[in-house]
A = this chain, B = another copy of it.
Amino acid sequence: MSKSIKLAILGLGTVGTGVINLINDNLGELKRRSGRDIIITEVGTRRQRDDIDASIIQNDDLMAIAASDNVDIVIEVIGGTTLAKDVIMHAIKHGKHVVTANKALLAEHGNEIFALAEANNVHVAYEAAVAGGIPIIKVMREALAANKVDWLAGIINGTGNFIMSEMRDTGRPFVDVLAEAQALGYAEADPTFDVEGIDAAHKLALLASIAFGIPLQFDKVYCEGITGITLQDVNYAEELGYRIKHVGFAVRRTNDKGKEGIELRVHPTLIPQNTLLANVNGVKNAVLVNSHPLGQTLYYGDGAGAGATASAVMADVMDLVRVLGSNDPSLTGQQGHHVPHLSFLPELLSDTPILRAEQMITGYYLRVHAYDNPGVLADITRILSDAGINIDAILQKPAHKVGQVPIIILTLPVIESQMNLAIAKIEKLDSVTDKVVRIRLDELA
């Protein structure tokens, strides 16, 4: 064993503690795989902890740790986008490699952070930022490096997937299941980030950049949560052979003139019941990637939790130790050629535009409530047909209010602007009684 690798862990919450436990549990495996001693030299924590090995320096001054000569790699697991950013920028300027699990920070400030890292010849590794323990960042950046990615579809928020799974399995409404998720610790007291899709949008922005070689553009992700999903729609979807999941999509589109655009969107989606993705249940995550020439591959596992996140954090550490190790004894500076932060070379990122919502193309599930008059179905299907929208299936259910029937329509993929126009016309029909409920649909084919 040559030089020891010295780690600092900033933040001793669930993940930070998980990293310490992993190193304690698996030190033998780490050494056998890296040929190095890996030791934690400093931890950043606000209050002194007596359950930490006495050899580790505890310090509440994170900026001091980030600049310490006693540290090779800084692991940031404090979260948030303010102090975390300051500390990471400081560490980079002091020539430290950084490992972070902070999806919000990278999705919103990653372009700036990665540029500083390039300029300082250090790495900012972030496997734990997307899909927890599933190594989707490494897979996309390295394993699929010879592929052209056509699209990816991910269940990348465990809380949301737990809620959708439970609604279906137990027939309870959204609010009930959300309360259970909060009681189980899967959802925060303020669940906005999870149930409104913001957390998934952060992760999707990262996945899309490394899939297509575009700058991070979190602000352009179309984002729709699961708060409006009713049991009625969950059940109709099942009856038609689909399942409603909260899915993030990044899709490369080429228009008639050969111009490329990219769809970035997270929203509830009907997907076929017999796909693996539809059978990813509870808090589990999975990402399905369709690329050329590989075709479809799927990656599945725990998207959160101390063990899964620590696994991803330490995979990044092992990469730094193994690949940069001996060519660069100080573990800083001059490591030269490597895997670019966003998979593609910074100067070769593409300015392919992110499409506006109205330009996106998806199938649709529509639930229309109408008086059971003769001709209403003909009126609706005529409107869809006039808009060039192809119907894949229709289900007319018995009336549940006097004289009113729910009509369920599945459509083939259509440009959203066309669907908006058609729905506006349908809602103007005299026999239609309510706003049309619409949920996107994808065959994942």
Contact of A143 with B315 at beta-carbon distance under 8 Å, contacts A29-B148, A32-B344, A310-B293 already known: yes
**By DSSP majority rule, is chain A's interface helix, strand, loop, or mixed?**
mixed
- Which of A295, A302, A306 is most buried by chain B, counting CB atoms within 10 A of its CB? A295
Q: Are B338 and A213 in contact (CB under 8 A)?
A: no
Q: How close is A291's CB to chain B, nearest CB, in angstroms?
A: 8
How large, as a class, is the contact surface on chain A?
35 or more
Bitwise, A292-315 to B at CB < 8 A (1) or not (0) is 111111111110011110110011
Q: Are B279 and A148 in contact (CB under 8 A)?
A: no
Q: Are B22 and A315 in contact (CB under 8 A)?
A: no
Q: Which residues of B contact A335 (CB under 8 A)?
A: 327
Q: Are A33 and B345 in contact (CB under 8 A)?
A: yes
Q: Which residues of B contact A143 (CB under 8 A)?
A: 127, 135, 138-139, 315
In the complex, what distance in Å separates the CA atom of A161 from the CA atom of B85? 49
Q: How close is A339's CB to chain B, nearest CB, in angstroms?
A: 5
Q: Are A147 and B322 in contact (CB under 8 A)?
A: no
In the complex, what distance in Å separates the CA atom of A283 from the CA atom of B33? 33
* A144 contact from B32, B35, B135, B310, Cβ within 8 A: B135
Those of A114-137 within 8 Å (CB) of chain B: 127, 133-135
Contact of A22 with B293 at beta-carbon distance under 8 Å, contacts A343-B33, A348-B35 already known: yes
A326 close to B (CB within 8 Å): yes
Q: Are A317 and B32 in contact (CB under 8 A)?
A: no
Closest to A35 in B: B345
Q: Which residues of B contact A327 (CB under 8 A)?
A: 327, 335-337
Q: How close is A30's CB to chain B, nearest CB, in angstroms?
A: 6
In the complex, what distance in Å separates the CA atom of A127 from the CA atom of B146? 13
Beyond contacts A142-B322, A145-B315, A322-B339: 17 other A-B pairs, Cβ-Cβ < 8 A, are: A21-B293, A25-B148, A33-B145, A33-B343, A35-B337, A35-B345, A135-B142, A143-B315, A144-B311, A145-B322, A146-B310, A294-B308, A295-B305, A297-B299, A298-B299, A325-B337, A327-B337
